[in-house]
Structure 1
Amino acid sequence: MAGLDLVPRMARYLDKHLIFPLLEHVQQQGIYAEEDILKAQFDLLQKTKLIDSAIEKYKAIHKTEDVPEALKNQRQDVVLQLKALKADCKQLLTVIEDPSLSKIKVEGESREKSAQAYREALVSLKEKHNIIPEHVEALYKYAKLYFECGNYGMVEGSDKMGAAEFLPIYRMLTADPNSENAFSALWGKLASEILLGKWEEAADDLRTLREAIDTKHWSNPLQQLEQRTWLVHWSLFVYFKPEASKLSNSRSEVIDLFFSPPYLQTIQTNCSHILRYLAAAVITNPRRRNALKDLVRIIQQEHHTYRDPITEFVECLLVNYDFDSAQEKLRQCEKLLASDYFLQGLSEEFIQNARLFIFETYCRIHQCIDISMLADKLNMGQEEAELWIVNLIRNARLDAKIDSEKHHVIMGSTKPSVYQQVCTKTKSLCFRSYVLAGNFTKQRSKYDREDDM
């Protein structure tokens, strides 16, 4: 499966700390040689401040307890840097640790009101303790070093603050909220929340960062394209990794994000391999069947730049109507889903919905269907297929019946009524109008700001 592994393609658009979970996954899957993975992990660790982890990997690679002096010296240097930066922003850290601030956060009536009250109290304490811009910038460097050392933020059972807590405070206090450091702080907080597994906060951070990227005035359009490419890749952690119970609407959100014109252009220009995840999101979301036509169009457009079993399954079934090839691709999809870091949790759901796609497509072009042949198309046993079809007809209320003697499924007329067609077209029109209005508002606000300048 090494040929279908996307880690080498995706790594260039991810923070180094976000690559570690992907390397651990391919290590568990046995996709690459163990020695190659250990070496890649060690090389990556050397580019961070995770010195203790680098020492452990060095021992595992060389099978020794002796550690080079260079690594020991790096550890001492990091400790000295932390102490120096903590001293530079000690006065501000005293303000941040003020008990009145934590009390405001706990007693807030809502997240918005609490955040506003916290901001006002923080600014008041900043003025009271004579905090100068140098202290604030030192906090940014301190938070950045914290992140590089793996201190991402508070964890359950601990009240020790980390990068995820310091970076938002920096953005509240910085004199220039549009500076490069302030913008980088958004990325740092998102990465911290992802690594801590705080998915709701990460989803909020992702929306904030998207708005910042879309509304910021870029001197070079290529910079904005690059930022959007990074956002597309980081969004995979937010929308595909958490359990469905925590982010129930994640699949719809990622479809909206990837189909929005700026990000769709980004995917087609820089990262066509993201079509794997867009296709998986559409297939596993029965409520978004209206996106199928656009998905098929894009997969066909990018056919020569990217293909994998998931995109080929869509083509075989919905373009070529080649059910035998679709069945073979579905078998390959099972292996791919099990090995993909982001999609492994969707394997069962994907297969069920893919079988439903095959069944519905087959039923649309046949009136009388042999159950044994359909079972073969669905890669199921005959009895299992018959029971599955019975439940499907009952739950979906399809106009069909089963002839038990001949083992046939007899389809009735399934043409949608005029009313249903009008409803479907209207829903699609409303969604496209909403997207168009949103883009117009963003562009108008952008030009208004330029006029004010």
Structure 2
Amino acid sequence: MAEYDLSKTIIPYLDRHLTFPLLAHLAEINIFSVEDVQAAQYELAKGTNMVDYSENLFKAMHPDEKAPQEFEDKRQKAVSTNERLEQEAQVVLNVIENPDVAQALRQDKNQNLQYLKDNYNLTLEHINALYNFGKFQYSYGNYSGAADYLYHFRVLSTDADLTISSHWGKLASDILTGKWDTALEELNALREAIDSRTPAPFAPTVSALNSNTPTVDPALSQLHSRTWLVHWSLFVYFNHPQGRSLLLETFLSPTYLNTIQTSCPWILRYLAAAAIISTPTPSSASGSTPVSSRVKNAVREVVKVIQMEGYQYSDPITQFLMQLHVEFDFEAAQKELGKAETVVADDFFLQEFKDDFLESARCLVSEAYCRIHQRIDIGDLSDRLNLPREEGEKWIVNLIRETRMGQDAKIDLEKNLIQISRPPQPIYQSVIEKTRGLAIRTQVLGAAVAKASAPPLTTEAQAAAVAVS
């Protein structure tokens, strides 16, 4: 399934340290050669100060060669640099860790900086030592220490660009240490900074903590930042307990949906997967927590986006929704679901949700199938769900008993059939629907009449006029 792997597409939008987990995953699933994955890991590691890791990768790639002297030289340089930066940062820490200083600091950063300068002779250059040391610790893999120093720097710094850079660095550090609650808070803070800052903050380039090259157009820069944020947020949203619902809330908002459609349509895979996973199932119905209307209607909204962006991106997950909710082709949906199962199992972000994905997808198939049929053969529906007959029968019976489908469906075990009996629509509801339709037709007719004396009608208006007549 290498053709559906998105690693090579996503990696350019990640910091090199965030890329290591993806490459480790590729080494496990064996869809690419071990040599290629090791070469990629080594090329990334060379750009960091993780000397021991780089040397071990070199030895694995060249078992018969002696490690070059450059590894030892780089190791000694890293040690000396670390000692120097630590001494510079300690000067600031000795001051701000003083309880009297901590009590004197206020919300106003400029006031705090002036206080530290007047009383302890600390300037902005001294404060930047915290950033430099945090950045260096990040470069050799001490992510927990990097997060601490970058946090202290951000609290004191008045440098807007370095503050944004420290946001990116701390988010990466929290992700790599698996602190998902903290990472979610950092993600929300960074998103707020990106959405509110003018001119927009610049997205990270090679590293989350490297200097950034500004772009000319602030709107384009903001788009780049949001694109990077969308990719980084996948780590948080697919690890935090409420992450899938939060992903739908964020990615379906107009701002970020526009970002996905413009810059990274492949993120539709994760949007579609999150919508499917969030579908209520028999196992989740009893203990489910209240969700917003956007999450409830996520599948419907995602299908509309997939329809619009199908020319840019398509894979078995998005095609499953298309075949099920647009084409109503259950055989094609069955085939796409079979492919989607493998795609989910091989995807770095989705692999842990394989069982949830399949159960929710089968619920969607069952609901759609029951919506357009009155008599359903349980064995045939089991085939549509890619389940063995006996297992499928048990699953379908459980679904009907545990969900709202049981209100309209009755099971005939002797004939192995499901009978769907939908109650007639109330008369007042029929009147409301017809009145709403009449109002829409009246508006279209009024628009067509208003344009009668104007230049020739457009194709759309002509179609509307023909429909009304």
Q: Aligned residue for 2:250?
A: 257
User: Any conservation in 2 of the 1:95–1:126 contact (CA below 8 Å)?
Assistant: no
Amino acid at match of 1:304: Y
Cα offset, 1:2, TM superposition: 1.3
Q: Aligned residue for 2:146?
A: 163
User: Any conservation in 1 of the 2:38–2:57 contact (CA below 8 Å)?
Assistant: yes
Q: Aligned residue for 2:12?
A: 12
Amino acid at match of 1:302: E
Q: Percent identity?
A: 44
User: Any conservation in 2 of the 1:163–1:192 contact (CA below 8 Å)?
Assistant: yes
Q: Give the stretch that moved more between structures: 197-206 or 122-131.
A: 122-131
User: Any conservation in 2 of the 1:89–1:138 contact (CA below 8 Å)?
Assistant: yes
**SS of the residue aligned with 1:197?**
coil
Q: Aligned residue for 2:143?
A: 152
TM-score normalised by structure 2 residue count:
0.79
Q: Aligned residue for 1:406?
A: 415
Distance 1:115 1:328, change over 3 A: farther
Cα offset, 1:416, TM superposition: 7.6
Cα offset, 1:121, TM superposition: 10
Distance 1:232 1:86, change over 3 A: same
Q: Aligned residue for 1:213?
A: 194
- 1:299 and 1:415 map into 2 onto residues whose CA distance is 33
Amino acid at match of 2:172: A
**SS of the residue aligned with 2:297?**
helix
Q: Aligned residue for 1:136?
A: 127
**SS of the residue aligned with 1:335?**
helix
User: Any conservation in 2 of the 1:45–1:53 contact (CA below 8 Å)?
Assistant: yes
- 2:106 and 2:64 map into 1 onto residues whose CA distance is 50
Mapping of 1:94-133 within 5 angstroms?
A: 94-98=94-98, 128-133=119-124
Cα offset, 1:123, TM superposition: 9.2
Amino acid at match of 2:7: V
- 2:326 and 2:391 map into 1 onto residues whose CA distance is 28
Cα offset, 1:394, TM superposition: 1.5
Distance 1:100 1:249, change over 3 A: farther
Q: 5+ residue gaps in structure 1?
A: 105-113, 154-161, 423-453
Q: Aligned residue for 1:204?
A: 185
**SS of the residue aligned with 1:410?**
strand
**SS of the residue aligned with 1:89?**
helix
Q: Give the stretch that moved more between structures: 359-368 or 166-175.
A: 166-175
Amino acid at match of 1:365: I
- 1:278 and 1:115 map into 2 onto residues whose CA distance is 41
- 2:117 and 2:269 map into 1 onto residues whose CA distance is 48
Amino acid at match of 2:412: D
Cα offset, 1:115, TM superposition: 11
User: Any conservation in 1 of the 2:46–2:54 contact (CA below 8 Å)?
Assistant: yes
User: Any conservation in 2 of the 1:229–1:271 contact (CA below 8 Å)?
Assistant: yes
User: Any conservation in 2 of the 1:92–1:126 contact (CA below 8 Å)?
Assistant: no
Q: 5+ residue gaps in structure 2?
A: 200-216, 280-290, 433-469
1:238 and 2:236 aligned? yes
Cα offset, 1:402, TM superposition: 1.0
1:181 and 2:170 aligned? no
Cα offset, 1:382, TM superposition: 2.4
Cα offset, 1:126, TM superposition: 7.4
> Cα deviation per residue 1:23-81 (whole Å; 9 max; x = unaligned)?
00000000110111111100011111111110110011000462111222112222222
> Cα deviation per residue 1:262-311 (whole Å; 9 max; x = unaligned)?
11111111111100000011111125331222211110111111111100
User: Any conservation in 1 of the 2:106–2:112 contact (CA below 8 Å)?
Assistant: no
Mapping of 1:319-358 within 5 angstroms?
A: 319-358=326-365
Mapping of 1:388-403 within 5 angstroms?
A: 388-398=395-405, 399-403=408-412
User: Any conservation in 2 of the 1:96–1:122 contact (CA below 8 Å)?
Assistant: no
- Coordinate RMSD, CA, aligned: 2.6
Aligned partner of 2:308 among 270, 281, 301: 301
> Cα deviation per residue 1:109-162 (whole Å; 9 max; x = unaligned)?
xxxxx997xx99999777643322111112211111111111111xxxxxxxx1
Distance 1:63 1:197, change over 3 A: same
User: Any conservation in 1 of the 2:268–2:306 contact (CA below 8 Å)?
Assistant: yes
TM-score normalised by structure 1 residue count:
0.82
Amino acid at match of 1:28: E
Q: Aligned residue for 1:191?
A: 172
Distance 1:170 1:380, change over 3 A: same
Cα offset, 1:227, TM superposition: 0.3
- 2:141 and 2:424 map into 1 onto residues whose CA distance is 58
Amino acid at match of 1:411: I
**SS of the residue aligned with 2:376?**
strand
- 1:121 and 1:305 map into 2 onto residues whose CA distance is 50
Q: Aligned residue for 1:43?
A: 43
Q: Aligned residue for 1:28?
A: 28
Distance 1:374 1:5, change over 3 A: same
- 2:119 and 2:424 map into 1 onto residues whose CA distance is 72
- 1:50 and 1:19 map into 2 onto residues whose CA distance is 14
Q: Deviating runs (4+, > 4 A) in structure 1? A: 96-102, 119-128, 414-419
1:283 and 2:276 aligned? yes
Distance 1:411 1:184, change over 3 A: same
User: Any conservation in 2 of the 1:51–1:75 contact (CA below 8 Å)?
Assistant: yes
